Amino acid sequence: MQRAFLPFSLLLALVLGVSSNAQATALARPVTVKDTIVVRLPNKAVITLMVRDAAQLRQLKKYQLDSLTSRLATYITQAEAAAKTASTNQVTMEFYPDKDQPGKNMPEQIRITTHKTAAGAASNNKVDVMMDKASKNTGVSFKIGGKTEEERRTRAINRDSVRQKNFENHHSKSHLIFDLGLNALVNQKTYLGLNGQPETVDLRTEGSRYVNIGLNWDPRLGGKHSPVSLTVGPEFAFNNYMLSGNNKWVNVNGRTAVVHETNGRQYQKTKLATSSINLPLMLRLQLRDSHYRPTFLLSAGGFAGYRIKSWTKLKYTSEGTTYKDKEDGSYNMENFLYGLQGTIGYGDLEFFAKYNMNPLFKTGAGPDTQVLSFGLRLIGVN
């Protein structure tokens, strides 16, 4: 910690406008709050004076501040020594110069708070000099390194004010979303395969991915402090249905089925993929804390959509060469889509779930099943 303190006669010259290399910055305050003057010295030390008015600042010269600065080094040495042997991370010591030297207009109290710091880290010690017993808010603060408590408090208030204005002034907002998750087949019933035997579809979970990109619009419901809004906007979804085992999707005689490969070819990937456009309509509840930061989020509603395209893709290796066979087609999948969806989250973390109430394939033309998609919303605005 730095122990070189500028004599207070020079300090007063700085704050009263006398030429110096130090910079003085006056921070505006409302009438109900004390005035604050911050003096930044060339050695990066910061001196903060907090007074009720200009008259109180002019009264500082009556104190023996030059003598005080010479005593501060001794006080700080004692505080540092106490901090090294203390069992806590913070030690506060109080000194009473006016009682030690009565009649010399010394400050009534000096409070020194010392924080333990890691080896090699910048010191974060703070010295509070209280000038007036009747007004605990009046004094001179020496802060070595970092920001003063007053500066931190002011910045926090400003951040909260900006968040509040943004929240109250935006009655509706649009934002980009990006979802990444997995697909699962639910409510699956057996169907007759191409061999006439009852079968079900077994998906490879980690390969059956769901990707959704959208532009949502959230008009607020109620007054400017209401946490409730609607969510609506176009979304583009991509669904993969990856089969497990050495099976593949086929479309034969107007029917879609899963068959096992029998010619000895070993598949690395066999999937059926679709793309669709959807329009959600959800009721959204977004709670916020006292600093207007987003906390709990819950949205629920439905969606309607249309299948744009579908295709199958096979990946396999033969005689050292990797092949990727792709074939476009409808594969007897339903064109019109509808279902339920929702999200839940806290802060920046948000999860989604989407349930297709329509069957994946047309009745009697493919496996009898529905789709559940779930995962993490990677991009979204709260």
Length of the chain: 382
pLDDT in tens, 292-339: 888 999 999 999 999 999 999 999 988 888 889 999 999 999 999 999
Q: Which residues contact 29 (CB under 8 A, 6 or more apart)?
A: 35, 36
Q: What percent of the chain has pLDDT over 90?
A: 41
Q: Report which of 184, 206, 205, 190 is spatially closest to residue 371, judged by C-alpha positions.
A: 184
- Tell me which residue has tokens 């980009």: 176
Region 37-49 average pLDDT: 70
Q: What percent of the chain has pLDDT over 70?
A: 73
295: enclosing H helix or E strand: strand 294-318
pLDDT in tens, 108-165: 777 777 776 655 444 555 555 555 444 444 445 555 445 556 667 777 777 777 777 7
Q: Determine the 3-state secondary structure of 155 from DSSP.
A: helix
Q: How far apart are CA 215 and CA 218, in angstroms?
A: 10
CB 371 within 8 A of CB 181: no
Joined tokens for residue 263: 């010619």
CB 375 within 8 A of CB 238: no
Q: How far apart are CA 306 and CA 277, in angstroms?
A: 6
Report angle CA 277, 281, 283 to the nearest 5 degrees.
150
pLDDT in tens, 69-95: 677 777 777 777 777 777 777 778 787
According to DSSP, the residues that pair with 185 across neighbouring strands are 371
pTM of the model: 0.61
Q: Alpha helix (H) ranges present in the chain?
A: 8-15, 54-58, 65-85, 97-100, 149-169
What pLDDT was estimated at residue 177?
95
What pLDDT was estimated at residue 13?
43
User: Considering only 114-118, 186-190, 249-253, 353-357, which range has the smallest mean pLDDT?
Assistant: 114-118
Q: How far apart are CA 90 and CA 81, in angstroms?
A: 12
